Amino acid sequence: MLNGFQGPLWLVGCGAMGGALLSRWRAAGLRDDQVTVIDPAPKAVPAGFAGILVDSPDAASGTPRLVVLGVKPQMLPVVAASLSARIAGALLISMLAGVRTGTLANLFDRARIARIMPNTPASIGAGVTALYGAGLPAADMAMVEALLKPAGQTLWLEDESRFDAVTALSGSGPAYVFRFIEALAGAGEAAGLDAATAGALAMATVTGAAALAAQSGETPAALRLAVTSPQGTTQAGLDVLDGDGALSALLRGTVRAAAERSRALAAAADAAADAKAAA
């Protein structure tokens, strides 16, 4: 619980992901008076939030104990320029895709940095967040863990280079699943169902199957076999899904492309940090 959490906590960027985390912190007892949201166009401030909301670091008063970065990676140079001088002494937690802790250290001239990769099911406490903070004091690691626990499962990474793959799998992954639900519903329509029925069946099938996979103690492979009658309907469908390794190849390509994009975002942030160092 975060009832006793002492801020100030500055959340810089309150969009889809930052807003989801803020809503979970509040549900876990974090008091609004401990939070300052800094965002010129906040998209997802939770209803009823009574903390401070300002459009830039210049408009925020005092100094934070903790700063959570929730802007798009492309905004990082602008944000760093206006923020770095204001946050000396704070622990910096970044959720930015791609951007490495070394890059953040250069841009913000600081040492205490944690990197996290949450995902949007965090908004209902069903997320999974990868955490990284090489060399952080134990108290900082405990604070990071405490902040992300209300969002769902947490997993510490020891090797920062794994963040690209993690981002491609669990950070982006909810979108793949949502796309699958859409496509399954569309396929149901193509097979003759009306849109409402196909949508409802697709949604209930994916949520039910995911809950069963999580709760049954069986492997996904065993659960799949339990659905699949020899020469039955499921086998006929799976023969298409897996024909010539189609599904595996599609998902490998999907995750590879997302991981490559993560590395490209990292390179762009590095270039910005180098430009700052050269200025």
Ligand X SMILES: NC(=O)C1=CN([C@@H]2O[C@H](COP(=O)(O)OP(=O)(O)OC[C@H]3O[C@@H](n4cnc5c(N)ncnc54)[C@H](O)[C@@H]3O)[C@@H](O)[C@H]2O)C=CC1
Closest CB 251 distance from ligand A1CAB, rounded Å: 16
Least separation in angstroms between CB 35 and ligand X: 14
- Among 171, 188, 259, 273, indicate the residue that binds ligand A1CAB (CB under 6 A): 171
118 binds ligand A1CAB (CB under 6 A): no
In the shown chain, the binding pattern of residues 127 to 166 toward ligand A1CAB, with x for contact by CB under 6 A and - for none, equals ----------------------------------------
Q: Is 140 exposed, middle or buried (0-12, 13-18, 19+ CB in 10 A)?
A: middle
Pick from 172, 202, 272, 273: which binds ligand A1CAB (CB under 6 A)? 172
DSSP-assigned letters across all residues of 87-108: -TTPEEEE--SS--HHHHHHHH
Q: For tokens 């910096």, name the residue.
A: 92
DSSP state of 46: P
CB of 219 to ligand A1CAB, least distance (A): 27
Of 90, 97, 99, 116, the one binding ligand A1CAB (CB under 6 A) is 97
Beta-carbon contacts of 242 under 8 Å, excluding residues fewer than 6 positions away, are 248
Residue closer to ligand A1CAB by CB (options 97, 266) is 97
Stretch that binds ligand A1CAB, among 83-91, 99-107, 167-175, 244-252 (CB under 6 A): 167-175
**Structural contact between residues 97 and 260, judged by C-beta atoms closer than 8 angstroms:** no
CA distance 224 to 75: 44
CB 96 within 8 A of CB 113: no
Q: Please say which residue, 72 or 252, places its beta carbon nearer to ligand A1CAB.
A: 72
CA angle 150, 49, 14 (to 5 degrees): 70
The one of ligand A1CAB, ligand X, none whose footprint includes residue 164, by CB under 5 to 8 A per kind, is none
- Residue nearest ligand A1CAB, Cβ-based: 171
Q: Which CB sits closer to ligand X, 91 or 104?
A: 104
Question: How far apart are the C-alpha atoms of 267 and 254, rounded to whole Å?
Answer: 20
Least distance CB 29 / ligand A1CAB (angstroms): 27
Q: For residue 8, is the peptide bond before it cis, meaning its omega torsion is within 30 degrees of 0?
A: yes
Residue 167 binds ligand A1CAB (CB under 6 A): yes
* Contacting residues toward ligand X, per CB under 6 A: 12-18, 38-43, 70-73, 75, 78-79, 95-97, 117-120, 171
- How far is 5 from 143, CA to CA, in rounded Å? 9
Taking the least distance from each CB to ligand X, the nearer of 176 and 193 is 176
Find out whether 143 and 113 touch, Cβ atoms under 8 Å.
Answer: no
Summarize as ranges the residues that interact with ligand A1CAB (CB under 6 A).
97, 167, 171-172
